[in-house]
Amino acid sequence: PKDLPVALLGFENGMYVMHISNVEDYCTIDTRVLQVRNGDTLVVKYEDMSTASRCLCTFDEHKFAIDAENDDVKYFSFKSTLFRVDWMVYD
């Protein structure tokens, strides 16, 4: 697990936010994000995509708001990439 890329979990503006970096995704998208918990892993997937661009972009930072009951996950999965979750440290 220590070799996995890191997702950073933080608490911002009253909600939990998962930050991942260096991920490829649609350049523009309008969709609902489905959260599925499997043990200590939170999987996010797109559901009911109403609009998605044909192009893909690599994002330096990608953020997902997550439900409060998932704030204790150890792993985060997005588009077949598994991340190890660490808490964000704020200055």
Helix (H, G, I), strand (E, B) or coil at 78: strand
Rounded CA separation 16/57 (Å): 25
pLDDT tens for each residue of 37-86: 999 999 999 988 778 888 999 999 999 999 999 999 999 999 989 999 99
Check residue 54 and give its pLDDT. Answer: 87
Residue 6 DSSP code: E
What is the strand order of the sheet 15-20 is part of? 29-38, 41-52, 75-78, 81-87, 6-12, 15-20, 62-66
Q: Do residues 45 and 38 make contact, with C-beta atoms less than 8 angstroms apart?
A: no
Tokens found for residue 58: 């690599």
